[in-house]
Amino acid sequence: MMSSVNIQDYCEDLFNYKRNSTIEVKVGNVGIGGSNPVRIQSMTTTDTNDTRATAEQAIRIIEAGGELVRITAQGRREAENLKNIKKLVRKDGYDTPLVADIHFNANAALIAARTVEKVRINPGNFTGDAKKFDLDKYSDELFDEELERMKEKIVPFLDTCKEHGTAIRIGTNHGSLSDRIMSRYGDTPEGMVEACMEYLRICEENDFHDIVLSIKSSNTRVMVHTVRLLVAAMKKEGMHYPLHLGVTEAGSEDEGRIKSAVGSGALLVDGIGDTLRVSLTEAPENEIPVARKLVEHISKHKGHKTIAPVPVTHYSPYEFNRRKTHQVLNIGGDKTAAVIAKGDYNGIMNAGCMNRPDLIFVDDPSDIPGQPVIPLILPVDEGERKKARNSYPYVEFSGMPSSVPDGTALFLGVTYKDAGEELFSFLRSHKNVILLLSSDNENRPVEQRAFILELMNREISNPVIIVNEYNEDEKENFQIASSADAGILFLDGLANGIMLGNRGALPQEVVVDTAFGILQASRVRFTSTEFISCPGCGRTLFNLEEITREIKARTKHLKGLKIGIMGCIVNGIGEMADADYGYVGAGPDNVSLFRNRELIKKNIPNDRAVEELINLIKQFGDWVDPE
């Protein structure tokens, strides 16, 4: 972590919701940052040279509610064709700003800047240098010389943007840093931040300020901590540029929605973020309602009941540090985060959950088996507890007993208002207590964070389970709300488990599977394969949705394995930085396979590439047969 960065520089108010202060940047007729709402955007997946298909898809994004549309322009030809795409979109009456996405080709960026309202460039490859991973050659002198050569390419681009009123996005991705930055910082949050800051300094030296920034990763923990570090680094140098948020390669279906809400939600909770994309391996118009629901959920925090601040002495917002707790039952200490289901025991046991919970909090104890397979948590009732031997008592703070017998465990329901000396004294003398922490505040994750920070200040190490209740009838709404609320507490290592409840008409397995999904997306408990699949763009070289579905169907049982599915080499080796295996488009009719970023098999025909991926996993001993 940058030692000169203060702990709260990333956030306007750690305890009460307030948007991060930024300047306004105009992208065509849309303002980003300042007092503007969080803007929603997506990206086309069509071939940019197919004018009509790209224009029609852009319009579908716009009609779904997209406020900006990004289009890849990997070469001069594609950049030139942006004019024709824009004409068709404008002809149909849409004035939504278009954004060119540039990698490796500064000349394409110059062409695009004369046509579209914004150009995205990546500091890791804007100057066109292919990664050689030759990191030892960079003396201080060579490091500085390359910075000067970099300026020679950037400044003409900035001059063109000034001339045409074009904004830019400086977009750094985890795994796509230049060899030059890697030689000094490695593939680290500090390196990603410095890559952004170098470009920002060049822009400011040239009096260019129409800039939006992004730092993205498929690793939610890296993404959240690095964006916070970028905000703090900007403030240190007197900069306040708006931020674009997104979890790259979030995937599809349930995991894509949960992962996006965990990552981007953790930043939006603290008022960070001015524009947002949810990257799903689906039709791009599907991304818009998911992003909108996430922004609307966080907007409910405005005007919440005031949360009394506590001293911040142990919190690490720029890196992961697990809160020190002691173990009670199988919770806390060095144990993995727990999932507690809430509801009828038999209903949960008969539900089609992908994973069984660790405990069940029984709402209705009238039909409890004599020896339940999964331990139960029961409101204090000696008769029912004797009937179900594998069970533990639950009480609320108002009914807190004077003592807890040794050799048992007590689940104690608490809220932030209970954080006082009576509770703290009880916890100091009763190590066998697990806290079930709920909140009725509109800004529940921040109130729950404040409670845990106070425990840390007082060196109280009892484990904490986050308890959040909802009333949703739609699965997507439930996934987005619960993931955005809980993710931040796991990404920062503060909580030891999760218990979700829902009063709406959702099957029990949705609630339980979402809890497991939140823990996996937060990178604290892996119970299934993690798929790092890109959303696709005009560079995609195979049917991404179809292949992703096929790979998922064949490999979803490989618990803890990470598989990257990338449409092209640009979003390939680097951006699947965390993947154990990679399936990457190498040409119009073939695929290359990677293991830990190392190319293992090259140019495999599409029709047998999935089978070759399975064989590769087997070859390196990571395959198990499904049960």
Give the range among 60-69, 105-114, 539-548, 591-600 with minimum mean pLDDT.
Answer: 539-548
Residues 186, 59 share a domain: yes
**Would you say the pTM of this structure is higher than 0.85?**
yes
Inside any domain, residue 312: no
Considering the chain, what percentage of its residues have pLDDT values greater than 70? 95
Token duo for residue 283: 């039709």
Q: How many domains does the chain have?
A: 3
Inside any domain, residue 5: no
142-196 pLDDT tens trace: 888 888 888 988 999 999 999 999 999 999 988 778 888 888 888 889 999 999 9
Higher-confidence position of 386 and 248: 248
394 membership: H or E segment, kind and range: strand 391-396
301-325 pLDDT tens trace: 999 999 999 999 888 899 999 999 9
Of 299, 324, 351, the one marking the end of a domain is 299
pLDDT of residue 4: 52
Q: What is the CATH number of the domain that holds 123?
A: 3.20.20.20
Give residue 357's domain range: 338-521
Backbone angles phi, psi at 356, to 5 degrees: -80, 140
Residues 505, 540 share a domain: no
DSSP labels, 512-573? HHHHHHHHHHTTS---S-EEEE----TT--S-HHHHHHHHHHHHTTSTT-EEEEESSSTTST
Inside any domain, residue 120: yes
Inside any domain, residue 626: no
Inside any domain, residue 326: no
70 bridge partner residues: 43, 99
Inside any domain, residue 315: no
Q: What is the CATH number of the domain that holds 371?
A: 3.20.20.70
pLDDT of residue 9: 84
Residues 571, 508 share a domain: no
Give the range among 26-30, 96-100, 376-380, 573-577 with minimum mean pLDDT.
Answer: 573-577
Closest CA to 214 of 182, 242, 249, 178: 242
Closest CA to 562 of 528, 608, 535: 528
pLDDT of residue 175: 75
